[in-house]
Amino acid sequence: MIFINEHYNKLKASYLFSHIAKKVEDFQGKHPHREVIKMGIGDVTKPLPNACIKAFHSAVNEMAEEETFRGYGPEQGYLFLREAIAENDFRSRGADISAEEIFISDGAKCDTGNLQEIFSMDTRVAVQDPVYPVYVDTNVMAGRTGGWKDGRFEGLVYLESNEENGFVPDPPREPVDLIYLCFPNNPTGATASREKLSQWVDYARKNNSLILFDAAYEAFIRNDSIPHSIYEIEGAREVAIESRSFSKTAGFTGIRCAFTIVPYDCMGYDREGKKHQLHAFWNRRQATRFNGVSYPVQRAAEAVFSPEGREEVRELTEFYLENAKIIRNSMSSLGYRCTGGDNSPYIWVKTETDSWEFFDMLLEKAGVVCTPGSGFGKCGEGYIRLSAFNSRENVEKAMERISLFLRY
């Protein structure tokens, strides 16, 4: 008899964004003539930068010739891309990261979901609340939590992020082993200062814990005092793994390319207290389960760091940030308190009403899709998230409709 992994039964029936997609599909089925504007899932709308397209085409052409054709690539990614990342994203900002510490992958979602596999089952896990659901659900699937009770999974430590702490929690009083931090934050759009991140790094060093730092939205940071990487903080190499993505930066949501840094100094412990390099564990995991990202996609990603690519990526992020400003200003002028949207593509809006009711109302009356805050956790109740990834026309139209509907 084939038995199921019963931990899956603890989860809600469907993943947050799949559930929203289904609700929108049902709505469109009932109202085929209503135009719906999607500001829910953070999916980019602008095409790939020209520099990436050129590199992509040229790599596809290489695959068409026997002399330049490539089969399996290195599971860790091609060195040309790892070198470009190490130099441009880290060393140029004073963060000491080598190409060999970078693992190329097909998504930060996959990496942040998969990384928990290399840790023991009794790892005490801390997550921010509200939280990107992948960190929670993958630990539930693995069996690291109890059941769902009062809007939370038993066994997880929830780090409440709210208006009082500026949506950046302090380290907990109790020791935890694995800490998921995401800045600029999904969903709140909040950013963490150097001082705050230093507090977390100090905590992790003191407790021999590990920070899993999700920096998928770092390219949207405009305030120079905000760190882009946790490795800008002294001591972080010993206690932090960082994930990043080309998805939101360069429009790669459809072609998939991301990376995770596992520094050689990052250690895990066995029951005898002996240290083990997490780099070796992650390398073993990737080599076994993953065959790398396709060569043309990695060449396209490399082009992000060319002079033309950098300029185009800057334009892309500027465009979405301008959308974010429009959204934030419109919602604020309607009297809603907002976070994010300045160094982040997400705007976290305090509605003070049931999040799912607000979602339904916005869809019904304005034909606009948002993400209900409670979908990200208990502390998200009474909020919605609006995504700035859309065309200017849609953002303006959505804001006009919301203004009309919320005014009456």
Phi/psi of residue 268, each to 5°? Answer: -120, 170
Stretch that binds ligand MLT, among 39-47, 195-203, 226-234, 319-327 (CB under 6 A): 39-47
Phi/psi of residue 269, each to 5°? Answer: -125, 145
Nearer to ligand MLT, 111 or 342 (CB): 111
Q: Which residue number has the CB closest to ligand MLT?
A: 42
Stretch that binds ligand MLT, among 37-45, 70-78, 197-205, 277-285 (CB under 6 A): 37-45
Q: According to CB under 6 A, which one of 39, 42, 49, 104 is a site residue for ligand MLT? A: 42
Q: What is the DSSP letter of 366?
A: I
Nearer to ligand MLT, 110 or 210 (CB): 110
Dihedral, CA of residue 171, residue 355, residue 369 and residue 340, to nearest 10:
-30
Q: What span, in angstroms and rounded, lies between the C-alpha atoms of 59 and 64?
A: 9
CB 330 within 8 A of CB 110: no
Amino acid at 290: F
In sequence order, what are the beta bridge partners of 269? 275
Count of residues in contact with ligand MLT, rule CB under 6 A: 5
Give the residue among 194, 189, 193 at the shortest CA–CA distance from 337.
189
Q: According to CB under 6 A, which one of 41, 60, 226, 334 is a site residue for ligand MLT? A: 41
CA atoms within 13 A on the CB side of 251: 23
Nearer to ligand MLT, 112 or 209 (CB): 112
Q: According to CB under 6 A, which one of 82, 109, 152, 228 is a site residue for ligand MLT? A: 109
Q: How far is the CB of 176 from ligand MLT (least distance, A)?
A: 24
Q: How far is the CB of 133 from ligand MLT (least distance, A)?
A: 8
Q: How far is the CB of 94 from ligand MLT (least distance, A)?
A: 28
Nearer to ligand MLT, 40 or 263 (CB): 40
Q: According to CB under 6 A, which one of 161, 186, 286, 351 is a site residue for ligand MLT? A: 186
Q: How far is the CB of 113 from ligand MLT (least distance, A)?
A: 10
Amino acid at 284: R
Q: How far is the CB of 14 from ligand MLT (least distance, A)?
A: 14
Q: What span, in angstroms and rounded, lies between the C-alpha atoms of 337 and 355?
A: 15
DSSP codes joined into one string, 238-257: HHEEEEEESHHHHS-TTT--
* 46-85 positions binding ligand MLT, by CB under 6 A: none
**228 near ligand MLT (CB under 6 A):** no
Q: How far is the CB of 323 from ligand MLT (least distance, A)?
A: 14
Cα dihedral sign for 6, 119, 182, 148? positive
Nearer to ligand MLT, 186 or 323 (CB): 186
Q: How far is the CB of 184 from ligand MLT (least distance, A)?
A: 12
3-state secondary structure of 235: coil
| Residue 304: Cβ within 10 Å count | 28
Exposure string of 2-27, with b = 16+ CB inside 10 Å and e = fewer, is: eeeeeeeebeeeeebeeebbebbeeb
Q: How far is the CB of 383 from ligand MLT (least distance, A)?
A: 14
Positions touching ligand MLT (CB under 6 A) are 41-43, 109, 186
